[in-house]
Amino acid sequence: MPKAFTETEGQEFLAGKHVAVLSVAASGGRPPAAVPIWYDYTPGGDITFNTGAATRKARLIRAAGAVTLTVQREDLPYQYVIVEGTVVDAVTPSPREARVAIATRYLGPEGGPAFADAMDGSTSVLFSVRPDRWITQDFSGDL
C-alpha cells in the first residue's frame, strides 16, 4: 500500500531535481492551465520559478494568486508530491541570481549561467509560492 511522505521526506523530494507541472485556474470556461516548468526549492522555503511576464501563464497566476505544483518520480518506486500554494511575490524583472539558480539546477554549473544570461530578465517575472497544502504518495513499499 502506498504511504504518504513525512513532512521532511516530502520537502526533500520537492527539493530534488524534477520538472514540475504547474496548474493554475483559467477563465472564460477554459480548464485550468497546466504547463511543465523548472523551479527552485529549499526545504522550509518558498517555491520559485520564472516565466515570461507577458505570457498567458503569468496573467493567470497573477489573477488567481494561487497555483498547484506537481512533481513525480517516473521510475520505480513511483512517488509524487503535489503542493497547493499561495503566490507571495512576483518580481519583474526576474533577478539574474534567481534565473541562474533555477537554470543551474537543471543544466549544471556551466550550462546554467549561460542559459540564464541568454534569457532576457527584463521580460520575465520571478514568482514565489508559499506551500500551503501538501499531498504526497510513496509507492516504494509496494515493490
Give residue-wise pLDDT tens across range 74-132: 899 999 999 999 999 999 999 999 999 999 999 999 999 999 988 877 799 999 999 99
Residue 102, φ and ψ in degrees, nearest 5: -70, -50
- What pTM did the predictor assign? 0.94
Cα–Cα distances in Å, from 138 out to 5, 39, 69, 135? 6, 21, 17, 11
Q: Kindly give the residue spans of alpha helices, DSSP state H, lying in 45-140.
A: 56-64, 96-118
Write the pLDDT tens digit of every residue in 118-137: 887 779 999 999 999 999 99
Which CATH superfamily groups domain 7-94+124-142?
Electron Transport, Fmn-binding Protein; Chain A (2.30.110.10)
CA distance 42 to 23: 21
Q: What does the alpha-carbon distance between residue 24 and residue 70 come to, in Å, rounded to a whole number?
A: 12
